[in-house]
């Protein structure tokens, strides 16, 4: 790997302080400047050799051009996806893009499992009703996960971890992935099959793919129509993999029995469709919390710092 001269790093989002401590202890200057408007970011980014983001700051073509006119040589994402970084524009500007793909997988997996549970048992509305002074036992009856079929679409790091855990709850876990082999799926307790075989079998569907043209609206009016009546869907991957308008219609008709969303096409959500989805009584929504645990944030912070230190050609020193 070529040695890259990184002396000054700009941290644009709320990355754990473990990242700053590690960079500083390796002689790299770090400045935190959160929630910078795009114009301000463009003005100053060229003063730094590298920038670190989570998902809030958008590293667009304009930002990269401005940075590359100055010193910018690398951008690091303390997280898995690099959706908020224009990777093509970065290549054009010879700016290296780094990410930390595995650091938050367990946290994202655990949130997924909790959301599946919250669709089986109406914990969220029942808890809210108690805060309102009510005691409605009949209203909040649920169903067991035991014996039900969970379909996992995307059998990568997170999808497989979800399969392993939900299998121990007595669910049959089936799944689809164009790359993961049958043997790899089986090792996680997942029966690999085609999407057409999956739709009529699933009681729950959880998506764990990147958002790419092939996965946009993977769950749609058409595919929901092929499912059992009352199928429940979960998206802790990326907004847009499940068509939100299709889910609202299916919730109204009963074709969909409940839905949980951690991610949205636009964050924070502004569209009327997303707002209607979040407000729906059969929907559990969380504000992109998949990676929001103490453990995951330390892990991704350390991993991104280690990668920058490796770029400089030094071996890391811990304080």
Task: List residues binding ligand NAD (CB under 6 A).
Answer: 80-81, 101, 104-105, 108, 153-159, 176-180, 208-210, 214-215, 236-238, 262-263, 288, 290-291
Q: What is the smallest separation between the CB atom of 290 and ligand MLT, expressed in angstroms?
A: 6
Assess whether 266 carries a catalytic annotation: no
Binding mask 231-250 for ligand MLT (x = CB under 6 A): --------------------
Give 45 or 233: the residue with its C-beta nearer to ligand NAD. 233
Question: Can you tell me the distance from the alpha carbon of 158 to that of 152, in angstroms, rounded to the nearest whole number?
Answer: 10
DSSP states of 97-150 = EEE-TTTTHHHHHHHHHHHHHHHHS-HHHHHHHHHTT---TTTT-----TT-EE
Assess whether 267 carries a catalytic annotation: yes
Query: Which residues from 55-84 bind ligand MLT, rule CB under 6 A?
Result: 55, 79-81
Which of 62, 184, 191, 267 is flagged as catalytic?
267
248 phi and psi, to 5 degrees? Answer: -60, -45
Question: Can you tell me the distance from the alpha carbon of 210 to that of 232, in angstroms, rounded to the nearest whole number?
Answer: 20
Which of 54, 160, 280, 288 is flagged as catalytic?
288
User: Is 54 one of the binding residues for ligand MLT (CB under 6 A)?
Assistant: yes
210 phi and psi, to 5 degrees? Answer: -75, 165
Binding mask 101-120 for ligand MLT (x = CB under 6 A): ---x----------------
Give 219 or 309: the residue with its C-beta nearer to ligand NAD. 219
Select from ligand NAD, ligand MLT, none the partner in contact with residue 63, using the beta carbon and a kind-dependent cut-off of 5 to 8 Å: none
Side-chain half-sphere exposure of 109, counting CA atoms within 13 A: 20
- Structure-token match 């991957």, residue found: 237
What does the radius of gyration of the chain's CA atoms come to, in whole angstroms? 22
User: Is 291 one of the binding residues for ligand MLT (CB under 6 A)?
Assistant: yes
Assess whether 54 carries a catalytic annotation: no
Question: Can you tell me the distance from the alpha carbon of 74 to that of 310, in angstroms, rounded to the nearest whole number?
Answer: 12
Sheet arrangement for strand 283-285:
191-192, 172-176, 149-153, 204-207, 231-235, 256-261, 283-285
Q: What is the smallest separation between the CB atom of 270 and ligand MLT, expressed in angstroms?
A: 18
Residues acting as catalytic residues: 238, 267, 288
């Amino acid at each position: 790997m070529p040695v890259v001269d990184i002396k000054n790093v700009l941290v644009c989002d709320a990355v754990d302080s473990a990242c700053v401590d590690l960079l500083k202890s390796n002689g790299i200057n770090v400045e935190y400047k959160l929630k910078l408007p795009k114009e301000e970011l463009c003005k100053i980014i060229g003063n730094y050799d590298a920038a670190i983001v989570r998902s809030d700051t958008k590293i667009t073509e304009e930002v990269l051009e401005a940075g590359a006119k100055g010193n910018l040589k690398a951008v690091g994402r303390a997280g898995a996806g690099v959706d908020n970084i224009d990777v093509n524009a970065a290549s054009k500007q010879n700016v290296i893009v780094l990410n930390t793909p595995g650091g938050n997988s367990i946290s994202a997996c655990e949130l997924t499992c909790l959301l599946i549970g919250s669709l089986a048992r109406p914990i969220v509305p029942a808890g809210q009703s108690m805060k309102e002074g009510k005691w409605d036992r009949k209203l909040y009856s649920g169903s067991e996960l035991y014996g039900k079929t969970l379909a996992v679409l995307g059998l990568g790091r997170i999808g497989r971890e979800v399969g392993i855990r939900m299998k121990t709850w007595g669910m049959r876990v089936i799944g689809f992935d164009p790359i993961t082999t049958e043997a790899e799926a089986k090792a996680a307790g997942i029966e690999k099959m085609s999407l057409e075989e999956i739709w009529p079998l699933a009681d729950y569907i959880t998506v764990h793919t990147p958002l790419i043209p092939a996965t946009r609206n993977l769950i749609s009016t058409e595919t929901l129509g092929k499912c059992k009546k009352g199928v429940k869907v979960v998206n802790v991957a990326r907004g847009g993999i499940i068509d939100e308008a299709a889910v609202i219609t299916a919730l109204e008709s009963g074709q969909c029995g409940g839905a949980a969303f951690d991610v949205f096409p636009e964050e924070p959500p502004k569209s009327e469709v997303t707002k209607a989805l979040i407000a729906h009584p059969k929907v559990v929504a969380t504000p992109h919390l998949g990676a929001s645990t103490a453990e995951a944030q330390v892990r991704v912070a350390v991993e991104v710092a280690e990668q920058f230190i490796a770029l400089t050609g030094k071996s890391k020193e811990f304080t």
